Structure 1
Amino acid sequence: MLTTGKAILDVANEHSFAVPAFNISDWAMFKGIVEISEQTNAPLIVAIHPDEVRHIGREMITGIVERAHFSSVPIAIHWDHGATYEQILHAVQFGFTSVMIDGSLAPFDENVAISKKVTDSAHALGLSVEGELGTIGANDSYAEAGAATIIYTDPDDAVTFVEQTGVDSLAIAIGTYHGFFPAHLKPELKLDLLKEIKSRVRIPLVLHGGSNNPDDEIYEAARTGINKINISTDIKVAYHNKMREVLGDDPKVREPNAIQPACIEAMNVVAAQKIELFGAAGKASLY
């Protein structure tokens, strides 16, 4: 069933687990992610970044929304890392049920202002809103690639931000990275910081990145305050590594229906492991 991010994450918050938000870039990836979520009976957030929106087009998003309506598990369609108010309006027009406004690179007051403006409008239209406070850096072409330094989320600022914006969930910076960690940095979650923020901010918290963070840290984070974890790099690497293997050097290998099934299977091995690690397997029964 199609629903909002808030409807999904409020249950995760109450029952102390994290919902995977899988970034998808084509129909085969989307179809595979829905199928593994249904097989594991796990709630799902389909995340699509503006770059991915431009790649797949509005027409495919219409198909994604249609498929979500008939899913056996709750699905939210989430606009990931919206940078402007205008982008959020596009998300509304396209049929998204959840939006993220990322003002994390702006000064605190400006982040509050744009996040509140988006939240007021989105709530009036029945959409849920994720904000972000702090920066985690990036090894990819979007998100916080412009962040020169990692800025951990300040608990006092988190309280003020949530009170003044009314966001439904908050992405925090506690030691992750978009894409793979640079070689000179050690992946390490600040779990004490997470627990302090969670003790003061009762809405669902979100973890961006995490490709190189140890599973035991992610496991604990998903049970002590993190309720949504974004997954992009890990599933895309698995999907396209298998595609390279299938294609090989044979020019006769060209039909998508002969290439993509093995890629989806490889991707879903990773996706299933994340679903289990986050504690989301079987939790669709709660909705």
Structure 2
Amino acid sequence: MLYTMNDLLCVAKKNQFAVPAFNIGSFEILRSVIDAATETNSPVILEIHPDEIAYLTDVFIESVKQAAYEAPIPVVIHLDHGADLYDVLRAIRNGYTSVMIDSSKNAYQENIEVTKKVVEIAHALNVSVEAELGTIGAMNYADEGVDNVTYTDPDQAQDFVQKTGIDTLAIAIGTAHGLYPKNFTPKLNLPLLAELNKRLDIPLVLHGGSGNPDDEVTKSVSLGICKVNISSDVKSAFFTECQRFFRENPDQYEPNMIFSSCIQEAKKVIHHKFDILNTLGKASLY
């Protein structure tokens, strides 16, 4: 069943659970996500970054849409980190039901203007819009810390939501994109999240959801996070198993033989994410 993000997350916010948004960079990962969501009766977001669709091409979206239509659970097809109007319009033409415009690195007023324009276009076509305020960091492996984080300011967030009319807001509370080093433990700014949740009445989004402590992620859901972006954890499990398979089967070349166990390992991670986000079984609420 294909849903808009707005319809999906309104239910999540009301019932205090979050829906994971998994980046689907291949058909095998798409299958892993859909199978795991169906097995657990859990709503899910299929998320595609512009770099991923540049590799997969628009033809791949036909498979994504068919999988969403046929799934017995609610599914959203979402553009992850659209950089400009080209990315957004490409996603809408391809049938996505939600888009993210990320103008957070620009000046505040420009972020408002760009986001407002996207909202005008997308809402006219019943497509939901996510934006970002503050900046989600990237791991600085030299210093073993999170680099370039600008935390979301509550006053600014309130003004931004009011002026743009967005449906969901990605907030910066201390996460980073990618996997964290083994000796680094990230720390979410939960008091800031609580303040943002008090000020805003729309669903909040947590980017960089791979590698954070489970208890902190679960706590964030109780404080207003309704969508969590997950990419690296699933891909890492998938390709770690792929590497193991080739070490033990160096002469194998049949995709159905190679990827079967990789899908199973990815599904273990996906099941776990549904569990910590309180998503398990929540498809029954739709």
With normalisation by structure 2, the TM-score equals 0.95
* Residues 122 and 128, structure 1, Cα contact 8 Å, conserved in 2: yes
* Residues 21 and 45, structure 1, Cα contact 8 Å, conserved in 2: yes
Matches within 5 A, 1:42-191: 42-139=42-139, 149-181=148-180, 186-191=185-190
AA of the residue aligned to 1:174: I
RMSD: 1.5
Matches within 5 A, 1:130-279: 130-139=130-139, 149-181=148-180, 186-248=185-247, 250-279=249-278
Paired with 2:236 and 2:250, the residues of 1 have a C-alpha distance of: 22
Q: Deviations over 1:221-276 (max 9, x none)?
A: 01220000000000000000000001116442111100111000000101100001
Task: Give 1:21 shift.
Answer: 0.1
* Residues 18 and 227, structure 1, Cα contact 8 Å, conserved in 2: yes
Runs of 4+ in structure 1 off by over 6 angstroms are none
Paired with 1:40 and 1:250, the residues of 2 have a C-alpha distance of: 32
* Counterpart position of 1:12: 12
Paired with 1:122 and 1:113, the residues of 2 have a C-alpha distance of: 14
Paired with 1:151 and 1:53, the residues of 2 have a C-alpha distance of: 28
* Counterpart position of 1:24: 24
How high is the sequence identity, in percent, across the aligned residues? 45
* Residues 46 and 75, structure 1, Cα contact 8 Å, conserved in 2: yes
* Residues 18 and 223, structure 1, Cα contact 8 Å, conserved in 2: no
Paired with 1:182 and 1:161, the residues of 2 have a C-alpha distance of: 34
Partner-residue secondary structure (3-state), 2:25: coil
* Residues 139 and 147, structure 2, Cα contact 8 Å, conserved in 1: no
Q: Deviations over 1:153-176 (max 9, x none)?
A: 000011000000000000000111
- Number of positions where the alignment pairs a residue of Structure 1 with one of Structure 2: 281
Q: Which moved more, 1:247-256 or 1:180-189?
A: 180-189
AA of the residue aligned to 1:77: I
AA of the residue aligned to 1:18: A
Partner-residue secondary structure (3-state), 1:106: coil
* Residues 211 and 233, structure 2, Cα contact 8 Å, conserved in 1: no
Q: Deviations over 1:136-167 (max 9, x none)?
A: 21249xxxxxx962100000011000000000
Task: Give 1:184 shift.
Answer: 8.5
Mark the CA change 1:213 to 1:246 in structure 2 (over 3 Å): closer, same or farther. Answer: same
* Residues 133 and 173, structure 1, Cα contact 8 Å, conserved in 2: yes
Structure 1: 5+ residue stretches without partners: 141-146
Task: Give 1:220 shift.
Answer: 0.5
Paired with 1:25 and 1:247, the residues of 2 have a C-alpha distance of: 20
* Counterpart position of 1:285: 284
* Counterpart position of 1:143: none
* Residues 79 and 96, structure 2, Cα contact 8 Å, conserved in 1: yes
* Residues 41 and 283, structure 2, Cα contact 8 Å, conserved in 1: yes
Partner-residue secondary structure (3-state), 2:106: coil
* Residues 100 and 129, structure 1, Cα contact 8 Å, conserved in 2: yes
Q: Deviations over 1:15-71 (max 9, x none)?
A: 111000000111111011101001111101000000000111111111110111111
AA of the residue aligned to 1:240: F
Task: Give 1:210 shift.
Answer: 2.8
Paired with 2:183 and 2:155, the residues of 1 have a C-alpha distance of: 30
Task: Give 1:181 shift.
Answer: 3.0
AA of the residue aligned to 1:55: Y
AA of the residue aligned to 2:150: I
Partner-residue secondary structure (3-state), 1:234: helix
AA of the residue aligned to 2:37: S
Paired with 1:234 and 1:111, the residues of 2 have a C-alpha distance of: 30
* Residues 122 and 129, structure 2, Cα contact 8 Å, conserved in 1: yes
AA of the residue aligned to 1:234: D
